[in-house]
Structure 1
């Protein structure tokens, strides 16, 4: 566990800075364009390449690329260099083609994702933004391939720190847009859209360049190779078929959610797709800082262990990863459930945003806080299947995901008042991942011969025993603040510092007394670093 902890700590540091600067970036975006029609148009256009690549890269890189590269490094006399060059060549060609096709089809894509009753002008604005944003597919994808190759060499720092540069670039663009642009979709100019769209894409380009330079520094030399016979790419292609099914099915789910959220925003301005998108980004913060770091460190090692037939050590690796993730995700989820509106009021009550719209985002975030634990465990469980090269099972589960989530989302859309639709969509997301987590646990346990369920359950029990009093303390601070004053950015900051800070301190102390070893390890690691 100590190796995973050290690797995860390096990645978590970079991811924490990345996510915190992402916090600032998201706040600046909301301040610059708001959560009305322009905000919904931008987020719909921005989310298409982001969600597509998130699913594609999470699936293809985790399920196919990392395990296959690891096997090529073990199998090939050159340590897998020729295979990596062929893979990078294929990635550059395919991703560039997808980006070009996306730009050419920007209009029908945006008509598909936005509300059906949007005016011609609104769809035109969304289309223009999409044309500027969809080239991110090529830059993001090539950079992520470089990051995957770095991960197989146990070089984790650059992939976690590169997004910081992306955020800094976009923050500069948003600062300029706030000065010269507008949040009114009826008044936005071509110059405004060019600044907003190309500026966002420039951030992804900078991120990709950092990863390419880092890959060059570890000795990788890109040489275009187009031959694919007897190279192992056929194995990767066969494995990728189900992964593309996984991606395609999840895109259907994303389309349903975006369509319903933009429709809700048209009926209740400020309670639409932007509110969903901003709450989802904040929900991803604790998952991105700790869970992604652990997953990234865990997958190459689990792939090697499974390739060697050492299932017992692979089970230990997974069990350790779940407990390490949970020791942070459990309190983070409960505190988000309590303090969600305080978080979003502090972040979003600026510029063209209102306190009321910021609080609404917080209510959506509260529901996502409850979903944080099942979502994170489900992502960890997927890595068991990926380490075996099994992409079929995750694809089937993604189909179940879409059916449950889309069905519940449609019920929410047609039965809830307009202002509560997006909150209902978040509840649909929560219920879906609770169900999927249970199914995935049973299937993964059968595949690897057990998942140390009793040990994991006992550890989670101690974590919740330490986290519930911490959440209660934060709730008491919030209630006291509400009795004294109204919700403002200043009062929210006080609540977060006092309630959130005291809650996390209480959790750490209680977990230490309850002998939660993962919390003790984190405290020891931090203490040793501070001592140095």
Structure 2
């Protein structure tokens, strides 16, 4: 449901739950008991205090640390790509983003959505059921999967000119030629991305989580180094016509090398867990029919999302001014960063409890966790939404206005980020509803809901593209995303209401009204402070840094003060937890 460029909502990432066979469950409406007590987020069902010394806690710490470093290095990578290639519409940055999007889409269709929803649960079952711990089955599965990925990558490289013709037909010949040449270099990523994901799945099934979480950092560091070399060696105007073979080799080859290093960096971990891969060609013994049956709904989900991605890329490559594909993707990454840090963390903590409650028929507990998740996510994300909207200009300048990414690109980023701020909350709410369906093992429901959601997104984006001037194309597409997330959340809540009963909308509405009041006041004061500070609408770097520092303190301080005064329970609970841990 993301509307992003590279990965669907079901690509394997931190916090994504492995899914088993879709099982539709029905239940009578259940009222939440009035005296239901909420346990701290992340507390296992029936257990008030988690075992701090257990392996689960250790794995969580390793994964959290790896996720944080990965996000930080990934964001630095994004900033340096913009600094090296620029963000002008129809420029090198847009060509690079178009070329890099191609392997991501193909990987998603082949493996991305099916991996976490089908293959991981299958590997888990085989490991528990077979005498050799599922090693032979895993070897056969890797053989078939890697050969299929290799064939797909080879065919994609041959079809690179066709992809360019489809995605960038409205662009000049030099732009299309650059996309094609870059595609030749980056399309082999399909194989190595799939290899990395498969090895990561094998390691996770065997209880090893560190390497899969930390290996993407190697990828980011390689691309960061490639961008540094590009910026340091090459000078002059950045344009498709000026992209020499040397420039293309550094930036395109560095991107490919990054994913190769990521995949190879996982091989020592395979030996550490005692897994030895060898070629075993026996596809009949894999139960491919069962795999296809289990993955059909997830493939439907992924395919619908990739249609939406195609529309976004096609429309942005058709725009003649304003923010292009690179700027749109930068803002999308900021939206996903807020969702990933807050939303995914809350969902990951709640999912085991919700899954256990659903499996044991404790629907009141499931309802309570869903209600609490909605309130917690909203309360935690509200100041970030305000910050993105009010401080969009200084954020664009401080984060992106470097090197070839100039003031005009920063100005274009500002408008897209303001609109992106309004997508953060609907995105996390829709994801939380999706995770609730996961707890109920309702993959089919998720896929069916996604079809009208993607339809709304595409219709809204096409309509806004026709109505708005070209300079606002990326703004309109981002608004289309926000609308589709809101529709997704609304449909999901209606379906969940029928599936699990009342979800305490009165309690949720009361909490949300307090949160929105605190956020509105914080936004007003933040706007006033930013207007009083030097810099205006597009400040210099140091003026932007000042606006960020002062405006951020005012927004967060005002929001927290009002939330405490209004007794927003989710905010007071978080602050109490923080104080307790600091006291320890």
Whether contact under 8 Å (1:371, 1:429) holds in the other structure is yes
Q: CA deviation at 1:196?
A: 0.6
Whether contact under 8 Å (2:525, 2:554) holds in the other structure is yes
Structure 1 residue 34 corresponds to structure 2 residue 89: no
Equivalent of 1:167, from 208, 213, 220? Answer: 220
Structure 1 residue 117 corresponds to structure 2 residue 157: no
More helix by proportion, 1 or 2?
1
Return the alpha-carbon distance in structure 2 between the equivalents of residues 314 and 477 of structure 1. 43
Q: Deviations over 1:190-220 (max 9, x none)?
A: 1211111110122222333344544554555
Q: CA deviation at 1:401?
A: 2.7
| Gap change, CA 1:90 and 1:323, over 3 Å in 2 | farther
Whether contact under 8 Å (1:151, 1:296) holds in the other structure is no
What's the secondary structure of 2:240's corresponding residue? Answer: coil
Return the alpha-carbon distance in structure 2 between the equivalents of residues 201 and 257 of structure 1. 24
Return the alpha-carbon distance in structure 1 between the equivalents of residues 132 and 510 of structure 2. 46
Whether contact under 8 Å (1:239, 1:389) holds in the other structure is no
Q: TM-score, normalised by structure 2?
A: 0.80
Structure 1 residue 25 corresponds to structure 2 residue 72: no
Q: CA deviation at 1:137?
A: 2.0
Whether contact under 8 Å (1:66, 1:300) holds in the other structure is no
Most deviating of 363-372 and 435-444: 435-444
Return the alpha-carbon distance in structure 1 between the equivalents of residues 92 and 166 of structure 2. 17
Aligned to 1:129: 182
Structure 1 residue 418 corresponds to structure 2 residue 470: yes
Residue-pair matches, total: 528
| Gap change, CA 1:50 and 1:332, over 3 Å in 2 | farther
Structure 1 residue 108 corresponds to structure 2 residue 162: yes
Whether contact under 8 Å (2:120, 2:205) holds in the other structure is yes
Q: TM-score, normalised by structure 1?
A: 0.87
Aligned to 2:456: 404
Q: CA deviation at 1:363?
A: 1.1
Q: CA deviation at 1:412?
A: 2.0
Aligned to 1:143: 196
| Equivalent residues in 2 for 1:320-359, closer than 5 Å | 320-359=372-411
Aligned to 2:15: none
Structure 1 residue 186 corresponds to structure 2 residue 238: no
Q: Where in structure 2 are there 5+ consecutive unaligned residues?
A: 1-40, 45-49, 51-56
Aligned to 1:361: 413
Whether contact under 8 Å (1:19, 1:288) holds in the other structure is no
Q: CA deviation at 1:327?
A: 3.7
Whether contact under 8 Å (1:12, 1:289) holds in the other structure is no
Return the alpha-carbon distance in structure 2 between the equivalents of residues 300 and 76 of structure 1. 26
Return the alpha-carbon distance in structure 1 between the equivalents of residues 492 and 124 of structure 2. 25
| Gap change, CA 1:485 and 1:319, over 3 Å in 2 | closer
**Rg (Cα) greater in structure:** 2
Whether contact under 8 Å (2:514, 2:563) holds in the other structure is yes
Q: CA deviation at 1:255?
A: 0.9
Return the alpha-carbon distance in structure 1 between the equivalents of residues 112 and 428 of structure 2. 13
Aligned to 1:64: 118
Equivalent of 1:292, from 330, 334, 344? Answer: 344
Return the alpha-carbon distance in structure 1 between the equivalents of residues 182 and 193 of structure 2. 17
Most deviating of 92-101 and 432-441: 92-101
Q: CA deviation at 1:526?
A: 4.7
RMSD over aligned CA atoms reads 3.3
Q: CA deviation at 1:156?
A: 5.1
What's the secondary structure of 1:186's corresponding residue? Answer: helix
